[in-house]
Amino acid sequence: MPMKEQNGLKVWQLRTPRSQLIRWGAWLLGLAVFIFSWQEISDNTLWFMMDNVGEVVADIATRATPPRWSFITELGRPIWDTLAIATLGTILALIMAVPVAFLAARNTTPSKLFVRPIALLVIVSTRSVNSLIWALLLVSIVGPGVLAGLIAISIRSIGFCAKLLYEAIEEINVVQVEAIKATGASPMQVMVYGIVPQIMPAFAGIAVFRWDINIRESTVLGLVGAGGIGLALQSSLNVLAWPKVSLILLVILVAVVIGEWVSAKVRGAII
Amino acid sequence: MLELQGLTKIYNTGDKALSDVTLTIPDGQVVALIGPSGAGKSTLIRCINRLVQPTSGSATIDDVNITALGSTGLRRARRKMGMIFQEYALVERLTVMENVLSGRLGYVGFWRSLFRKFPQSDVDEAYRLLDRVGLLEMADKRADELSGGQRQRVGICRALIQNPSLLLVDEPTASLDPKTSRQIMRLIVELCSERGLAAIINIHDVALAQMYVQRVIGLKLGTVVFDGLPTALTPEVLTDIYGEEDWEATIETVDDEDDEI
């Protein structure tokens, strides 16, 4: 970028000495912050607890193996609940996210000044609160159980789905939309023919991606009483029933792997 | 008959794309609009169907002042103007048939169009048009499976199924090879004369324009600087429109061989 003459040669460097110095300074500063934080954490750690870490881990491992396989008969219902929370929660979230996305996208919003900020606020506020916290709130509002988990998952997912969807809407090819407009189509027809086909792949991808995330999120909702397999995990942990705990973790692992596999297949099929 | 009266467009950036364009195009006349990039050709045809909102002036078709219409009236007026685009502007993920039938959206209610329940007469017309441009067997293919020339022919069908009285054609051949370009130009001009359609064709290829149209309008910096017969395009005129260049080779008459369309 900066070029200077030296003995008749044009010397080329990527950066000026000044910007080079600033870069080195920034790296140095980052390193200093990292070392300081490391020191802080170290000072606040109870190191004597670490003395027998190996023993404790080995102890839990021996207590937890073998998993109590017979317990599986009692896990069918909770894991079904968990999958139902994830699936229905995702569907509910998508139903609410689609209008929000259209209101938030710059090219489809009815008003950039009034409606768009509200839609963006919905997106940010639902996204910024973790689903566990939503579940805590909802358990005290609608009582413990699957319903609280379902609502928690769907609220939490609105922002995520709407954000990705409105970004997809903003990236559509405008000429295709112009072409539909030019036929004399009404605004709703322009949406159905010009915009929807263009965002369909993104929509399907977002839906399975969020479903995949929601399976994982819904496994822990039971910890705060919002139904699903987390509830079983909580009660087993409370009585230190390690063989049950290990079985539950295995079941969760299998459910998550299946979820990932399905979503990978679906996304592969769309693209 | 299309009448433009003092049509002016100033973009928000302050660029004056069109200044005071006044011209009349009688029914059934095919006009080529030439001029350098940025001369306002696209803006001009988009101001006619108001994909671009003109700043001042008026566009009148058959005594209807389009610039003064409300949204319902505008939609009704747009049905009478078919538009053909440079990059075809087909909805890529819809089938050829859906793309052609989308030309009828202005005539069909929302729910019918949502469930693709178009009237039988529209479906018949769509098949007839696809057959006319030689794409009947492609009807159920997705638009993004077609080649450039095929896509443009679908675009032509979409414009014609509107049953328009005017075609607005924006660089129909700019993305096509020379042979396909000629076929597409010939097809557009033939269809115009079959149906008595007027057309405004934006085009960069001066020689191609000369071969097919009845009248040429030259645009430069948003103003009309030439309006006359294709044969009146002399090197002096082209220099006036585009700037200094050796124009002899460009306007040499090209023989039109009989290609299959």
Superfamily the domain A72-270 falls into: MetI-like (1.10.3720.10)
* Pairwise CA distance, residues B157 & B138, whole Å: 13
- Mean pLDDT within A126-154: 88
* Pairwise CA distance, residues B132 & B247, whole Å: 37
Residues of chain B with pLDDT under 50: 254-261
Closest chain B residue to A194 measured between Cα atoms? B91
* Pairwise CA distance, residues A3 & A24, whole Å: 21
Q: Give pLDDT, residue A1.
A: 54
* Pairwise CA distance, residues A244 & B58, whole Å: 79
Q: Which residues of B touch A199 (CB under 8 A)?
A: none
Please state the pTM of the whole predicted model: 0.80
* Pairwise CA distance, residues A178 & B28, whole Å: 25
Of the candidates B91, B105, B110, the beta carbon closest to that of A176 is on B91
Contact status of A183 with chain B (Cβ, < 8 Å): yes
Burial of A24 (0-12, 13-18, 19+ CB in 10 A): exposed
Q: Give pLDDT, residue A2.
A: 60
Q: From chain B, which residues contact A within 8 Å (Cβ)?
A: 49, 51, 75-79, 81-83, 85, 87, 89-94, 98, 102-107, 110, 113-114, 155, 158, 162, 168
Query: B158: alpha, beta or left, given left = phi > 0 and alpha = psi -120 to 50?
Result: alpha
* Residue B25 CA from chain centroid, whole number: 14
Q: Taking CB atoms and an 8 Å limit, are A176 and B92 in contact across chains?
A: yes
Q: Which residues contact B6 (CB under 8 A, 6 or more apart)?
A: B20, B21, B22, B56, B57, B58
Candidates A171, A176, A192, partner chain B, best to mutate (most B CBs within 10 A): A176
Task: Tell me what the pLDDT averaged over chain B comes to.
Answer: 89
Query: Euclidean distance between the first and final Cα of chain A, in Å?
Result: 40
pLDDT digits (tens, 9 = 90+) for A167-225: 999 999 999 999 999 999 999 999 999 999 999 989 988 999 899 899 888 888 888 88
Q: Which residues of A touch B168 (CB under 8 A)?
A: 182
- Looking at chain B, list the stretches that DSSP marks H as alpha helix, in order from N- to C-terminal side: 41-48, 71-79, 96-101, 110-114, 120-132, 148-160, 178-195, 206-212, 235-242
- Looking at chain A, list the stretches that DSSP marks H as alpha helix, in order from N- to C-terminal side: 17-43, 53-64, 76-104, 115-128, 131-142, 146-170, 174-182, 187-190, 196-221, 229-238, 242-270
Q: Give pLDDT, residue B251.
A: 66
pLDDT digits (tens, 9 = 90+) for B15-61: 888 989 999 999 999 999 999 888 889 999 999 999 999 999 999 99
- Mean pLDDT within A136-164: 90
A77 pLDDT above the threshold of 90: no
pLDDT digits (tens, 9 = 90+) for A16-54: 888 889 999 999 999 999 999 999 998 888 877 777 888
